[in-house]
Structure 1
Amino acid sequence: MNPYAVDLEPFFGKQVEEGTTAYAGAPLPEGTAPAPEEAIVEALRTVHDPEIPVNIYDLGLIYAINRQEGGNVHILMTLTAPACPVAGEMPVQVANAVAGVEGVGEVEVELTWEPPWTTDRMSEDAKMALDIG
């Protein structure tokens, strides 16, 4: 069991607080090359909101990817709504997906509600997939 994982039980059916953070990964061995941002983005594209058939990156739920020393990564993300049923689970899924990328060390995924998500943040592909003009 990941000692950094967020306990999800308290979040089911409740609004998750600003700043809720999930952790995954481990420090990289000295001299390991850090992952390129493109590899991190590809990992993010493997995570989907179960209610929307588009990945979280193309939905525009990822506000920032900050690559840090030692291959560590801090991700600032949001969800479509604070009371989203997977709000407590999604940051954990994101942290685990990114931690699985070669060249990524420790991952910290922070949830924010500001600015609120809107469909304007979606990629053109995501808008087409969901028939949003």
Structure 2
Amino acid sequence: MEDQRDIIDINPPEPETPPQAETSGASSIPEDELTRITGDVIRSLKTVYDPEIPVDIYELGLIYKVDLDDDRLLTIDMTLTAPGCPVAGEMPGWVEGAVRGTDGVDDVKVNMTFDPPWTPEKMSDEAKLELGWL
């Protein structure tokens, strides 16, 4: 009877790093600049707070999509915790103002959507911890 052995590859291939965000293909903006802009935009979004919840809108999961096109137009799709939110008319302006000064972004457009509706499951663990939910 032959012995069966497991073969262990001592030089396994490097695991692929998943992209930070969904991309739609090649961009004319260099990758290192996109990485910097992404970090700057996230930092800016984290300065905007829902006035009723002491957590920033990024960690609350209110930002659904951020897209920077080759013309450097930054488009943000976002929602609110509820359609009847008292700052529904003001929040898109706050978001636009927060990211407008980002180096490498020429223009900003903020779209409000309620599809899919926001739920607490969209919050990050950081937000849940801040609210005492963890």
Range of TM-score over shorter length? 0.7 to 0.9
Distance 1:37 1:92 in 2: 20
Which sections of structure 2, spanning at least 5 residues, go unmatched? 1-32
TM-score w.r.t. structure 2 length? 0.71
TM-score w.r.t. the length of structure 1 is 0.72
Residue 59 (structure 1) shift: 0.2
Superposed counterparts of 1:44-83, under 5 Å = 44-83=45-84
Please name the residue that 1:15 is paired with.
none
1:13-63 per-residue CA deviation (whole Å, 9 max, x = no partner) reads xxxxxxxxxxxxxxxxxxxx6662111111000000111110000000000
Runs of 5+ unmatched residues, structure 1: 1-32
Structure 1 residue ranges, 4+ long, deviating more than 6 angstroms after superposition:
none
Count how many residue pairs are aligned between Structure 1 and Structure 2. 101
Task: Within 5 Å, give how 1:1-133 maps onto structure 2.
Answer: 36-133=37-134
**SS, match of residue 71 in structure 2:** helix
Between the aligned residues of both structures, percent identity stands at 49
**RMSD value, Cα:** 1.3
Residues 61-108 of structure 1: per-residue CA shift (max 9 Å, x gap): 000001112321000000000000001100000011110211111100
Decide which structure has the larger Cα Rg and report it: 2
